[in-house]
A and B are shown apart, each in its own frame.
Chain A
Amino acid sequence: MKKWLLVFWFCFPFGLQAQTTLLFLGDSLSAGFGVDPEEGYVALVDKNLQDKGLKIKVINGSISGSTTASAAGRIRWYLKSKPDYLFLALGANDGLRGRPVGEIKQDLALAIELAQKAGVKVLLAGMQMPKNLGAQYTEDFAKLYPDLAQKAKLPLLPFLLKGVGGHPDLNQPDGIHPNPKGHVLIAQLVTDFLILHLQKPYGP
């Protein structure tokens, strides 16, 4: 029993370095809120990568409703497993709650710094706020991701919901969360982005 416990408690599945590990850290968009787990874009990306013969273990550490404030704490937890890549897709909830852009930026910068210090390569997913929040806020918010990417020299996916956000036929009735069709498009966008940026020997 003791042996089993040790295995169970200390050997995280993604801690085994037999293959590359990619950690997704996001909110409800990445957690697949309102769709079946296998319909969420992270699961689809996993499948896409497997289909392309890439030996990458995908871990979805996304939590619905989470904000950038939780990013650093969550990364500390996952660092124990030494992920190779971190796909950071947070900030939508902060924006929708009208949090000051400076504070969101600070939270994300801290998370990036933590990951990079631990040798994790960070890939950043950008967000945009809808126009109704006001010109000033949406502009400030839109700038925050390119600023962070430039400063920390990160690959940036400019807008995670490109081609999906604002399209009623690709979103659930709440108008915020993508439906299965929307997730398929996001998965394709993210897969293309990952293939472009995951370095050899992991790339195609």
Chain B
Amino acid sequence: MWFRLAFKELINHRGFSLFFLANLTIGLVGFIALDSFKLSLKNHIENKSKAILAADLSVYAARPFTLEEETLIDGQMPKGTVLTKEINFMSMIRGPKGAKLVEIVAVDQGYPLYGEMTLDGMRKVGPKEVAQELLNGQTAWIQPELVPLLGLEKGGQVAIGQSEFAVGDLLLEAPGQNFWNAGIAYKVFIGYNQAIKTGLIGEGSRRYHHRLYKLPPDQEAKEVAERLQKVLVEKYGPSPYLYLRTHAQANQQMSRVLGYLNDYLGLVALVALFLAGMGTAFLFRNFLSQRIKELAILRALGASPLDTLRLSLWQIAILGAVAAVLASSLAQLGLPLLAKMMVLFLPLGFQTQLSYQSMILALAVGIGGSTLFCLPMLWGLKGLNPKILLQETYSVREQSGLEAWIWHLPVLLLYWGLSVWQANSIEVGSLFMASLVSSAVILAVLGLLPLKLGRAGLESFGLRLRLALRNLGRGGASLVTSVMAIGIGALLINLIPQIHKGLSTEISAPESGKLPSFFLFDIQPEQRTPLKVFIEAEGYQMGQLSAMVLARLLEVGDHSLTPQKEEAQTREQENAQWAKRRDQNLSYRFELYASEALTAGVWFKGAFDPNSGKLPEISLEERFATRIGVVLGDKLSFDVQGVPLAGEVTSLRRVKWNSFEPNFFILFQPGVLEDAPATFLATIPRVPEDQKVGLQNRLADHFSNVSLINVSGLIKKVLEVAEQVRWAIQAMALLAVIAGLVVVYSIASFNAQSREKEINLLKILGASFADLRISLLIEFGLIGFFSSLAGVILSLGIAWGLAQLIFERIFELDWNVSLLTIGLITLLSMFTALLATSRALAKNPAQLLQAI
């Protein structure tokens, strides 16, 4: 019966129901979509890293395995494990045109355990083709770049050690292999036994023998590796000659990047959910206030306080369940979109199916979360007495002070649990929660202060302003809650774009046209001019020639740097140790690059004058300066290959590292290091794709010591990924903003409606329609303005703090968003107030008198 009644009431209050559903659904959509996305991402990272290692687990050594070792290792593998072997080594191979250093990859039966190899014409091949073509004959698959270098063609002969191989096909990609750095040594795949017969492997050879294992699906590589490591240590002692590597270790970089993104998205989802929770609570309070007399009638008709509670609980449960179903369906639609945005992360196929756990979670959070958010109001129903039917006004009793905190505790606990779960860390989750709670308190103070102070100073103003300020002055707990809620809304709305700004600044990069095609390393001083002439004769330009002088950092200020032997425990310690490692590359130049911006101090004042009586000037990258604990004016002492050299830090720079310009942490004033032994870096921009191999080969012929890396392919990939990440983040931020605006509307609407009777009273007392409307607008405008101002100020503080802690000090203020947030919330607050009270304003005071 109570269910039917609850359902009927919800149908009767369609406006409330729809609003409540929309609000909760928005919050849940982001949360569920991200939950499913996180699961899919975890699977994806695992798949990806398996393909990167081409195995679940690899055991390798710089010598052949002994039979005893092989038996011991294989014996530790679970039943159903598949094994393949691989040997890697460098060798000079010879074709008709000459010899070239290559990396030989000798593979055995079963390779590749994961993924596929790509041959000429995008032909995808696997273990079957490897067995047929590489293991049954003298065939080699070579990278296409080797064709012109060795004067080879498909079917041509290449000499590897004592053996001759026919070039069977051209190899474009293979799992477990990095192809981007192939500029130094291209890859050649041959059969395992064929490699042994080349005579290149044996005593005095430098090579790696790998045993690659594919574990049964139910086995965790990490556990097997730990077990195996233990057995190996027991048998051979802590010997470092046999190395273990799991797919996760092989892919730590990828895992870190995705983990970082995942945490960020999780944070945004929590924000959206919290806003939705606040919105539902306010909507429900509003709903209860409207229905309080109906509930009292029910009590008068014999319903117990528990029955009224049951009715409300049913209503929340119904709305929560419908919202969860709606959110799940929407998330189902949204996930492929999210996956599409992230498509470059997901080359191995991404499962966007909504997980079973996500559905359960949606129901639990939808029903449980809403109930807990509404708990303080629900509890107020227990004291509902039918006699209120005889009173003019009555509102739902809410607790104040300590009692209020106790009734808010369950929802805080729930949210804390979700935060910990999302952040995957008790520390981070708790910090997030603590920040939110302390923000609420700070907001109440920040937002209420001007409202209260303003009252005293503005008493002498006109009726409209006085009315508004008096109302504000009277507002007790309700005003505090409004200020807190609108403030938190503003804080969250503004916070995400502020962090987003920092994050996109970090990942955005220049247009592809401005990026180099090649990076040149190890250019000797006397090669600078000939190399420039050569490159220009080829029809290209050599750019950004930068000296690189190796030096040891000896002292920071007056503190000598001692090598640190202890292992870094945290990322921060690791960074500090890395920054203080003593070998540093110094450079010098007169001008800042486009990718740099001075953040403190002044740029070099021309070349160093040894007679100036001053130390040479030094410019440091700002994050590097922080890591080594250096500020402007500090002295740094170096040993430049035997020569002591000190300088004073006179400027700090922010460097956009992904500009792919030759940037340095430490720049000296020109006129100091010019005579020091240096090698040079340079870039060659805009080389058409089809001319790269030719230029690369001709350069190697003329300047054999100069290493040349084709970076544009790599950069392109990085940029595409960065762009996808940016889109994903923007989409999530938008979700938080929408959720935030819905909350603001709910709050303003509640506040305005609670004024209905008061407005009518004022009318009776002679206040004009315009007076009332304007005073109402002033009142809600002031609440909206000061609350959102406080929220924005606090959010900027938090964004700055987060930038220092998480986003590596990248903080760029987005004034537009901040001003827009304040403006929009103030206007929204005024508009909603007007909308919500329009009925009351339009009413004839006589109606009120009749009601009395």
A residues touching B (Cβ–Cβ < 8 Å)?
1-2, 5-6, 8-9, 12-14, 23, 36-37, 59-61, 63-70, 72-74, 76-78, 80-81, 94, 96-100, 103, 107, 130-137, 166, 168-169, 171, 173, 175-176
Whether A133 contacts B101 in the complex (CB less than 8 A), given A69-B524, A70-B677, comes out as yes
Chain B residues within an 8 Å CB radius of A173: 62, 240, 243
Contact B91 A134 (CB under 8 A): yes
Q: In the docked arrangement, what's the CA distance between A96 and B525, Å?
A: 22
Q: B646–A8 contact, CB under 8 A?
A: yes
Complex partner residue of B91 from A36, A72, A103, A132, CB under 8 angstroms: A132
- Interchain CA distance A164-B328 in the complex, whole Å: 64
Bound-complex Cα distance A134 to B89 (A): 11
Give the nearest-CB partner of A81 in chain B.
B642
A2 touches B613 (CB 8 A): yes
Least CB separation from B201: chain A residue: A132
The answer, among A63, A65, A134, for a CB contact under 8 Å with B92, is A134
Known contacts A131-B203, A131-B205, A132-B207; is A103 also within 8 Å of B705 by CB?
A: yes
Interface residues of B in 9-45 (CB under 8 A from A): none
Nearest B residue to A76 via CB reads B677
A-B CB proximity, top 8 nearest: A98-B101, A69-B705, A175-B62, A74-B677, A130-B206, A132-B205, A134-B92, A132-B89
B207's nearest neighbour on chain A, judged by CB, is: A132
The answer on a CB contact under 8 Å between B101 and A132 is: no
Q: Distance (Å) between the CB of B145 and the closest chain A CB?
A: 14
Contact residues of B between 197 and 211, Cβ < 8 Å to A: 199-208
A73 vs chain B, min Cβ distance (A) = 5
Interface residues of B in 211-259 (CB under 8 A from A): 240-241, 243
Distance in angstroms from A140 CB to nearest chain B CB is 10
A80 to B676, CA, bound (A): 11
Least Cβ distance of A29 to chain B in Å? 14
- B756: min CB distance to chain A, Å: 77
Which of B206, B241, B677 touches A132 (beta carbons < 8 Å)? B206
Asked whether, in the complex, the Cβ of A1 is within 8 Å of the Cβ of B614, the reply is: yes
Neighbouring B residues of A168 by C-beta, 8 Å: 61-63, 241
Query: Which residues on B sit within 8 Å (CB–CB) of A6?
Result: 610
Q: How far is the CA of A17 from the CA of B202 in the complex (A)?
A: 49
User: If the complex has contacts A98-B92, A134-B161, are A67 and B203 also in contact, measured as CB distance less than 8 A?
Assistant: no
Once bound together, how far apart are the Cα atoms of A81 and B643, in whole Å?
9
Does the CB pair A63–B641 fall under 8 Å?
yes
Q: In the complex, are the beta carbons of A175 and B206 less than 8 A apart?
A: yes
Known: A8-B644, A14-B642, A99-B704. A36 touches B99 (CB 8 A): no
Interface residues of B in 48-67 (CB under 8 A from A): 61-63
Residues of A contacting B91 in the complex (Cβ-Cβ under 8 angstroms):
132-134
Find out whether the CB atom of A77 lies under 8 angstroms from the CB atom of B676. yes
Using A5-B610, A12-B643, A132-B91 as known contacts, say yes or no to A98 and B100 having CB atoms under 8 A apart. yes
Any A CB within 8 A of the CB of B184: yes
A134 and B563 contact, Cβ closer than 8 Å, known pairs A8-B644, A97-B101, A168-B63: no
Q: Is B677 a contact partner of A73 (Cβ separation < 8 A)?
A: yes
6 further contact pairs, Cβ within 8 A, besides A5-B615, A97-B707: A1-B613, A8-B644, A66-B679, A99-B704, A133-B92, A133-B101
- Give, as a whole number of angstroms, the nearest-CB distance from B704 to chain A: 5
Say yes or no: A67 contacts B705, CB within 8 Å. Answer: yes
| Among B162, B185, B206, B611: residue with most chain A CB under 10 A | B206
Give the distance in Å from the alpha carbon of A76 to the alpha carbon of B675 in the complex: 9
Q: How close is A162's CB to chain B, nearest CB, in angstroms?
A: 12
Instruction: Please state if B522 and A67 are interface contacts (CB–CB under 8 Å).
Output: yes
By a CB distance below 8 angstroms, the chain A residues around B591 are none
Complex alpha-carbon distance, A70 and B707, angstroms:
13
Q: Which positions 98-123 of chain B face chain A at CB distance < 8 Å?
A: 99-101, 104
Q: Is B90 in the interface zone, CB < 8 Å from A?
A: yes
Which residues of chain A are within 8 angstroms of B203 by Cβ–Cβ distance?
A: 131, 166
Contact A63 B550 (CB under 8 A): yes
Q: Which residue of A lies closest to B526 (CB)?
A: A73
Can you name the residue of chain B whose Cβ is closest to the Cβ of A98? B101
Closest CB of chain A to B240's CB: distance in Å? 6
Q: How far is the CB of A169 from chain B (nearest CB, A)?
A: 7
9 contacts between A and B (CB under 8 A): A2-B611, A63-B677, A73-B678, A99-B704, A100-B704, A131-B203, A131-B205, A133-B90, A133-B91
Alpha-carbon separation in the docked complex, A175 to B525 (Å):
32
A24 to B588, CA, bound (A): 26
- Tell me whether B704 and A103 are in contact (CB under 8 A): yes
Question: Which chain B residue has the least Cβ–Cβ distance from A168?
Answer: B241
Bound-state CA distance A195–B264 (Å) is: 62
Q: Does B645 sit within 8 A of A, measured CB to CB?
A: yes
At the interface, yes or no: B93 with Cβ under 8 Å from chain A? yes
Closest chain B residue, CB of each to CB of A110: B526
Q: How far is the CA of A132 from the CA of B208 in the complex (A)?
A: 11
Bound-state Cα–Cα, A14 to B642, Å:
8
Distance between A125 CB and nearest chain B CB, rounded to angstroms: 18
Which A residue's beta carbon lies closest to that of B550? A63
> Which residues in window 599-618 of B have CB below 8 A to A?
610-611, 613-615
Cβ contacts B552-577/A at 8 Å (1 or 0 each): 00000000000101000000000000
Complex Cα–Cα for A96 and B91 (A)? 9
- Chain A nearest CB: distance from B326 CB in Å? 55
Does the CB pair B524–A12 fall under 8 Å?
no
Q: Are A135 and B677 in contact (CB under 8 A)?
A: no
| Residue of B200, B201, B615, B645 with highest tally of chain A CB at under 10 A | B200
Residue of A nearest to B204 (CB): A131
Determine whether the beta carbon of A134 is less than 8 Å from that of B644: no
* Residues in B neighbouring A130, C-beta threshold 8 A: 204-206
A7 to B330, CA, bound (A): 74
A43–B386 Cα distance when bound, in Å, is 93
Contact A97 B524 (CB under 8 A): no
Q: Fill in one digit per residue for B156-175: 1 if any A CB lies within 8 Å of its CB, else 0.
A: 00000110000000000000
Contact with A along B522-547 (1 / 0, CB 8 A): 10111100000000000000000000
Q: Mark B670-693, 1 if CB is under 8 A from A, else 0.
A: 000001111100000000000000
Name the CB-closest residue of B to A11. B644
**Interchain nearest-CB distance for B578 vs A (Å):** 15
The residues of A that contact B677 with a CB separation of less than 8 Å are: 61, 63, 70, 73-74, 76-78
Task: Give CA–CA (A77, B525) in the complex, Å.
Answer: 12
User: What are the residues of chain B within 8 A of A97 when measuring CB–CB?
Assistant: 101, 184, 707
CB contacts (< 8 Å) of B100 on chain A: these are: 98
Cα-based distance from A113 to B729 in the complex (angstroms): 61
- Alpha-carbon gap, A9 to B613, bound state (A): 12
A12 x B522 contact (CB < 8 A): no
User: Min CB distance, B13 to chain A, in Å?
Assistant: 70
| Residues from chain A with Cβ under 8 Å of B89 in the complex | 132
| B89, B565, B582 — most chain A CB neighbours (10 Å) | B89
Q: How far does the Cβ of B682 sit from chain A's closest Cβ, in whole Å?
A: 15
Cβ of A65 to closest chain B Cβ, rounded Å: 8
Shortest beta-carbon distance from B165 to chain A in Å: 14
**With A and B bound together, what is the CA distance between A136 and B550 in angstroms?**
35
Interface string of B424-458 (1 = CB under 8 A from A): 00000000000000000000000000000000000
The residue on A at minimum CB distance from B243 is: A173
A65 to B241, CA, bound (A): 24
Q: Which residue of A lies closest to B678 (CB)?
A: A73
Smallest CB–CB gap between B763 and chain A, Å?
83
In the bound complex, do residue B200 and residue A134 qualify as a contact, i.e. CB atoms below 8 Å apart?
A: yes
Taking the closest CB of chain B, its distance from the CB of A16, in whole angstroms, is: 12
Other-chain contact of B90, A74, A96, A103 (Cβ < 8 Å): A96
Per the bound structure, the CA–CA distance linking A134 and B188 in Å amounts to: 15
Closest Cβ of chain A: how far from B638's Cβ, in Å? 11
For A23, A130, A131, A137, the residue with the greatest tally of chain B CB atoms inside 10 Å of its CB is A131
* Contact present for A94 and B705 (CB under 8 Å): yes
- What's the Cα separation between A176 and B94 when bound, in Å? 25
Kindly state the separation between the CA atoms of A132 and B91 in the bound complex, as whole angstroms: 6
Give Cα distance in the complex from A137 to B99, angstroms.
9
**In the complex, chain A residues whose CB is within 8 Å of the CB of B204:** 130-131, 166
Given contacts A5-B613, A98-B101, contact A73 B62 (CB under 8 A): no
